[in-house]
Amino acid sequence: MLLLIAGHENSTSLIGNGVAMLLKLPDVRSELAQDPSRWAAAIEELMRLVSPNQFIRRQASEDVTLGDQTIRAGDARLLILAAANRDPDAFPDPDRFVFDRSNRQYVALGHGIHYCLGGPLARLEGRIALQTVFERWPSIRQTGELVYANNFNVRLLHSLRSSHPERDGEVTSANWLAAVVPRR
């Protein structure tokens, strides 16, 4: 059950926030339209920029000193993944979308033994959904404010109003699949 729920929220968050970010980046969309092989790199950069999970809680298994702070065994800490993924010491110009960023050591899906088991599936779902949206509706544009779900940890886009000649309407986390999957 945990895998089903966790995987669903991460993929939904990546897709919704990925659409929202790419709508603001016409040069990136143009490059993806000209070279669809770049979608895999785009998904990696989107995972870093729009981290689905904002933080994780961890408990120290042993005493650790970081700088002038000591974290004692048993102490709990919140690790802010979204901030780590935009650390300028790790990612030069961290707020800019870069296809060929040399450092891919972001922590959007955790790290080490805590790495997300569904990471490869989230990447695949994200690539297929985002590539389909922007190939099917190349002229899509945002027409309203973004509405986010009331979720403290997962940055989950609930609603994004859009317009394009191919289809007008609102794509939400509940109906994006119906909007993307071809009708028979």
* 85-142: pLDDT as tens digits: 899 999 999 999 998 888 778 887 777 777 777 778 888 999 999 999 999 889 888 8
The catalytic residue among 125, 129, 159, 173 is 125
Active site residue 82: no
Q: Given pLDDT bands bounded at 50, 70 and 90, which one contains residue 28?
A: very high
Query: pLDDT at residue 184 above 50?
Result: no
Kindly report the pTM of this predicted structure. 0.81
Pick the CATH number of 2-180 from 3.40.30.10, 3.40.50.1110, 1.10.630.10, 3.40.50.1370: 1.10.630.10
Q: What is the mean pLDDT of the chain?
A: 84
The catalytic residue among 108, 116, 122, 129 is 116
The residues, any chain, with a CB within 8 Å of residue 27's CB and separated by 6 or more, are none
Active site residue 11: yes
The catalytic residue among 9, 44, 159, 162 is 9
Written as one string, the DSSP assignment of the chain is -HHHHHHHHHHHHHHHHHHHHHHT-HHHHHHHHH-GGGHHHHHHHHHHHT-SB-EEEEE-SS-EEETTEEEPTT-EEEEEHHHHTT-TTTSSSTTS--TT-S-----TT--GGGS-TTHHHHHHHHHHHHHHHHHH-TT-EE-S--EE-S-SSB--EEEEEEE-TT--EEEETTTHHHHHSPP-
Active site residue 62: no
Residue given tokens 């690539």 in the structure block: 127
User: Residue 67 and residue 6: Cα distance in Å, rounded?
Assistant: 33
- The pLDDT tens digits of the residues spanning 136-160 come to 889 888 888 999 888 878 888 888 8
Active site residue 31: no
Active site residue 45: no
The catalytic residue among 11, 13, 51, 159 is 11
- Where exactly are the structural domains of the chain? 2-180
From the number of C-beta atoms within 10 Å of its C-beta (0-12, 13-18, 19+), residue 108 rates as buried
